[in-house]
Amino acid sequence: MLNGAIRRAWGALALAVFGLLSFPAAGQVMPEGPILAAADLRAGQDLSGQWNWSIDPYRDGLAGFHGGEAGPSQRRHADADVANLRRADPLALFEYDMDAAPVAMLPASWLTHSPQMRHYQGLVWYQRRFDAVIDPASRSILRFGAANYSAEVWLNGKRLGRHEGGFTPFAFEVTGLLRARGNRLVVAVDSQRSSHDVPPPVTDWETYGGITRAVRLINLPGTFVDDAWVRLEADGRISADIRIDGVQKAGLPVRLIIPELGIDQRATTDMDGGLALRITPRKPIQRWSPDSPKLYRVEISAGEDRWHDIVGFRTLSVQGSQILLNGEPIFLRGISLHEEELGADPTRHITDAAADALLVEARDGLGANFVRLAHYPHGEPMLRAADRLGMIVWSEIPVYWRIAFDDPAVLEKTRRMLAEMILRDRNRASIALWSVGNETPIGDARNGFMARLALDVRALDPDRLVTAALLTGREMDGGRQVVTISDPLAASVDVLAVNTYFGWYGSDRLDDIGTFGWDLPIDKPFLFSEFGAGAKLGYHAEGPPQKFTEEYQADYYRATLAMAEGIPTLAGLSPWVLKDFRSPRRQLPGIQDGWNRKGLISETGERKQAFAVLAEWYAKREGTR
Ligand code: GCB
């Protein structure tokens, strides 16, 4: 007992000292381009559809073989009509022609383009030609939902910039760069990653390189609402922090309307285009919760701009070991999921319907009220579906396993990624927890790195709860196995969470794990952010259940849930995982064949035996804290 307490105290102290020394409170790292809150609800020109694509494994289009700029024969991003140039000059040499390259439908991972692309890691060039309506009075923003992993972008031969991070949006202002006909948008997407990237190369899921989320051209007035964060405060008032961008941003009259609440508030921006409103609603607010996921339309007019979002209002807090939603304790009956749609050949193309199918199975099939969206920010359709369906969300950045924690450039890009996630989604009532990482190895550099991320979350969104999947330790105490949280990061989070696989990895027997004790701090809520066992649908064994049979997985769930019942501070769980998902590191023939089989349903949605075990347990927990 004491051991655990002393370790925790030391951890907290070390973290505080180290965190301050190595990462002094620098300014917040922000997205490089516009924020464009609720961009998915903005009208715009959808550039989905046919794009030309071409592999470039040696990156010849980016640099010459002695370094320096790529030569004209390789420069895929040039605004050049290669066929015409070749016709005009028989001596012209080109070793690419994006206009003639094969065509794929985007957004989609490149594994949809051809069977040879399944495990391609490297650079792929994409090109889209399009016409645009040119309005000299408006500003044009090119916004990418996500490109995995890095993307460098050119429009009509002009380089717009580069973005790193496969799961967060980025945008470039392209005002003045468009032409009415035949714009040439070229994107170099590179899926190659090192330990200086986030996530690192070794993960337990498939990479899905490519332009995986929508690309849109959004036309806005010269001055527009770039960011608006609207939420319910503990005192019952609605807060709105608004940021205007554009030449008229200072002293601009702004109006915020929530029709259903009778709110119609006017105010004027400050010199920087900022505005903070605190509003007492005239009508009672119907609070968002899993039982009643009420959403309101929020409108802002600023100059000529009309912005809106669909927002739920609820409060969130922690009291001792309880998580409170709207002031009431709530037990999180959860399940983890990857961003991978149901079906035999998923491509991580999550439409509204695909998101609904997964979340409805979790909610109505399992009786869940909570999803851990692992291990990276999922696309907007998933978050909007969670808001609509009343599913509480854990959202996280892909700080996974082992990255170069001692590299300040890695910290910088991770902080940017975190900001991109939070600024995209902080109007989603469903999100309760921001996770800063998963199972990262303890060490001085890592401890300071993770503590910095936790501080960033608090600066960007102080009302939500910070968490991370922490590491555990195990010791014998009076002949009994006792599990502790050995991770100093525990001091930085609001909600403790651990992944546990006793009875799956290692040699523990299922009969024993119900007897394990947990020595946990009593003043913080505790979650099982994962536990799980593999099972191949339809694989049954004679005799004692063997790993990978449905029976073993079901027994494993029974044993782990029995262990969970002995933990008084347990505030919820999100077992691993709803659906079998693709993972190249899982190659047991006949059983895994490239899939992580810990799903409670198969890739095509058939339920395994353990599904009912968890559903029954959740049915018993319904209505409990
Ligand atoms: C974990 C990881 C998760 C893996 C899972 C497994 O702890 O967080 O990404 O997929 O275990 O199946 O081993």
- Strand duo 170-173 + 138-144: pairing: antiparallel
Nearest CA to ligand 1 atom 9: 204
**What whole-number distance in Å separates Cα of residue 120 and Cα of residue 100?**
21
**CATH number of the domain located at residue range(s) 39-219 in this protein:** 2.60.120.260
pLDDT digits (tens, 9 = 90+) for 75-115: 999 999 999 999 999 999 999 999 999 999 999 999 999 99
Q: Residue 623 has what pLDDT?
A: 73
Closest atom of ligand 1 relative to the 505 alpha carbon = 13
**What whole-number distance in Å separates Cα of residue 600 and Cα of residue 575?**
9
- Does residue 527 contact residue 570 with C-beta atoms inside 8 Å? yes
136 by Cβ neighbours in 10 Å (0-12 / 13-18 / 19+) ranks as exposed
Q: Residue 142 has what pLDDT?
A: 98
- Does residue 146 contact residue 208 with C-beta atoms inside 8 Å? no
DSSP 195: T
Nearest CA to ligand 1 atom 13: 204
Q: Residue 449 has what pLDDT?
A: 98
Give the residue range(s) of CATH 2.60.40.10 domains in the chain.
224-313
Please report the DSSP string for 503-531 in residue order: TTBSS--HHHHTT-EEE--TTS-EEEEE-
204 Cα: distance to centroid of ligand 1 (angstroms): 6
Structure token digits, residue 56:
């470039």
pLDDT digits (tens, 9 = 90+) for 33-90: 999 999 999 999 999 999 999 999 999 999 999 999 999 999 999 999 999 999 999 9
Query: CA torsion 168→76→220→427, rounded to 10°?
Result: 0
Looking at residue 472, its amino acid is T
Give the residue range(s) of CATH 2.60.120.260 domains in the chain.
39-219
Q: Which residues line ligand 1 (CB under 6 A)?
A: 204, 375, 438-439, 499, 530, 576, 596, 598
Closest atom of ligand 1 relative to the 438 alpha carbon = 8
Q: Residue 622 has what pLDDT?
A: 82
**What whole-number distance in Å separates Cα of residue 332 and Cα of residue 48?**
37
Could you say which residues of the chain have pLDDT below 50? 1-25
DSSP 393: E
Q: Residue 157 has what pLDDT?
A: 98
Give the residue range(s) of CATH 3.20.20.80 domains in the chain.
4-20+317-620
**Nearest residue to 534 (alpha-carbon basis) of 558, 557, 561:** 557
**CATH number of the domain located at residue range(s) 4-20+317-620 in this protein:** 3.20.20.80
Q: What CATH superfamily classification does 224-313 receive?
A: Immunoglobulins (2.60.40.10)
**What whole-number distance in Å separates Cα of residue 392 and Cα of residue 368?**
9
**What whole-number distance in Å separates Cα of residue 242 and Cα of residue 209?**
35
Nearest CA to ligand 1 atom 4: 204
Q: Which of 203, 373, 596 to mutate to test the pocket of ligand 1 (most atoms within 8 A of CB)?
A: 596
Closest atom of ligand 1 relative to the 534 alpha carbon = 12
Closest atom of ligand 1 relative to the 469 alpha carbon = 8
Q: Which residues contact 9 (CB under 8 A, 6 or more apart)?
A: none
Q: Residue 625 has what pLDDT?
A: 55
17 Cα: distance to centroid of ligand 1 (angstroms): 31
Q: Residue 624 has what pLDDT?
A: 66
**What whole-number distance in Å separates Cα of residue 309 and Cα of residue 250?**
23
C-alpha distances in Å from residue 98, one per residue of 116, 120, 132, 287, 445? 19, 19, 20, 52, 44
Reading across the β-sheet that carries 224-232, which strands appear in turn? 224-232, 238-245, 274-279
Structure token digits, residue 264:
């119609």
Nearest CA to ligand 1 atom 8: 438
